[in-house]
Structure 1
Amino acid sequence: MTDQQKIHPVPDVEASPQTSPTAPLMVQSSSKSDRGNPVEEYPPPHRNFPVVHSKTPKKRSCCCRCLCWTVSLLLLLIVILGIIVGILFLVFRPKLPKYSIDSLEITQFNLSSVDSSLSATFDVTITARNPNKRIGIYYEGGSRLTVWYTETKLCEGSIPKFYQGHRNTTMLVLPLSGQIQNGTGLLTTLQQQQQETGNIPLRLRVKQPVRIKLGKLKLMKMKFSVRCRLVVDALSANNAISIQSSSCKFRLRL
């Protein structure tokens, strides 16, 4: 017998000799990765972004606008008042009045044998000076003048109504009177202090309503407050009383 013919598979001529039968098929494209391998390109996925709408500015409320107008008007009023006060100051050049206590006379200062009350009657001389060239002072009614020893009121009185003109000096002699209940202890304290120190400190307070006159303009009523400290050598009736020292402070209250 003839040798059996061996059949060998004939390789496919159309197949590419470089392609491995086990290699996966891949669609090549024109772009490649950095390593030389082909990279597939796909269109980017579609993303839904939120739509942001711009907010319209809110209108200011009526209350806010009213508040702004009120504050603006107040500031404008303050500025106008400041300008007016500055002009008046430059025109009139105001100066504070001055006061001094010139003398103190005691006409009565004794104990009552009935109820041990202490009666006091003083005559005090006060000098009021108005140093202003263009400002007058109307002293109105309702004033109050008191004399104190420590916390005890000895006597009181008032200043009469009068007008004090420009650069005027007025001397006032004012009667003061008072009565202190159970005055035995107070009189004993005064006598002891007079013997130990040779002087007695007193305080004089004045509360006076006034009106200021600027040229022909009469301003609203205000109050003068005067506080004086004085030291006398004695407090006894029918004796010459010497004022050793005195000083007064002036305050203006609207």
Structure 2
Amino acid sequence: MSNHPKIHPLHDPEAPQTRPTAPLVPRGASRSEHGDPTKDPLSQRPQHFVPLPPPKKRRRSCCCRCVCYTLCLLLLFVVAVGATIGILYLVFKPKLPDYSIDRLQLTRFTLNQDSNLSTAFNVTITAKNPNEKIGIYYEDGSKITVWYMEAKLSDGSLPKFYQGHENTTVIYVEMTGQTKDASGLMTTLQEQQQTTGNIPLRIRVNQPVRVKFGKLKLFELRFLVRCGVFVDSLAANNVIKIQSSSCKFGLRL
């Protein structure tokens, strides 16, 4: 027999390389003497999960809530009052009243034996309401005082009345008073009259009023009037000559 040459298959480098679909190692061949690692008895134990508590919410204290509610109510009140005042101002166009001291009479000015000064004044005040649509109710509880420096000489009160639109009212007020230990005060008055030729007095008025806008009568306010008056002398039973006077008006809720 003739010897046939052996033919060995050659690997074609251009042939596509395919991966084996079957496992190189049969199933079960990788088991060790300890068993299948994929079936670990520890991994097969049932796991118990402990639920975490929900996060605690921060609770605001009752005091903080009360403060917040109070601030909100105050803010709403301020806004409402501001809006009301703005509307009234645009509709009625309010103007400040005007006051003047027209006449001042001293009916009693006596230094008693106990060094107490007894005084009595008659004051004439002119009050003007320049508003076309606003009336003023002058209520009870007013107070008018006459001062020299820091000493109160007399006090009294204004009458209760209603002042209509664009009205001018003349008010007559009687005041009386008594100042204790007034010997030094009398000496100062006489020296100032001889030196300057006048005596400065201060007249203050604290008057509760209610303002009427059309048919709407508002809550009670207070007019504060401060007048500076220079007179020639303080002679009893005589009309005092007013050399100059000026009044300032204020308003308080």
Q: Name the TM-score, length of structure 1 as normaliser.
A: 0.71
For residues 142-181 of structure 1, the aligned pairs below 5 Å read 142-181=141-180
Number of equivalences: 200
Gaps of 5+ in 2: 1-53
Q: CA deviation at 1:117?
A: 2.0
Letter in 1 for 2:101: I
Letter in 1 for 2:115: S
Q: CA deviation at 1:67?
A: 7.0
1:92 is aligned to 2:117: no
Q: Deviations over 1:148-169 (max 9, x none)?
A: 0001111111101111111111
3-state SS of the aligned residue for 1:116? Answer: coil
Q: CA deviation at 1:202?
A: 0.6
CA distance in 2, matches of 1:69, 1:246: 51
Q: CA deviation at 1:66?
A: 8.0
Q: CA deviation at 1:220?
A: 1.0
Q: CA deviation at 1:240?
A: 3.5
Return closer, same or farther for 1:72/1:105 CA change in 2, 3 Å cut-off: closer
CA distance in 1, matches of 2:98, 2:220: 19
Partner of 2:81: 81
Letter in 1 for 2:249: F
Partner of 2:248: 249
Q: Name the TM-score, length of structure 2 as normaliser.
A: 0.71
Partner of 2:123: 124
Letter in 2 for 1:86: G
3-state SS of the aligned residue for 2:223? Answer: strand
Letter in 1 for 2:193: Q
Partner of 1:30: none
CA distance in 2, matches of 1:249, 1:228: 6
Q: CA deviation at 1:83?
A: 2.4
3-state SS of the aligned residue for 2:238? Answer: coil
CA distance in 1, matches of 2:212, 2:204: 24
CA distance in 2, matches of 1:239, 1:74: 55
Return closer, same or farther for 1:192/1:93 CA change in 2, 3 Å cut-off: same
Partner of 2:135: 136
CA distance in 2, matches of 1:189, 1:67: 56
3-state SS of the aligned residue for 2:175? Answer: strand
Return closer, same or farther for 1:214/1:194 CA change in 2, 3 Å cut-off: same
CA distance in 2, matches of 1:71, 1:187: 55
Partner of 1:33: none
Letter in 1 for 2:119: A
Letter in 1 for 2:139: E
Letter in 2 for 1:133: E
Kindly name which structure, 1 or 2, has the bigger radius of gyration based on alpha carbons. Answer: 1
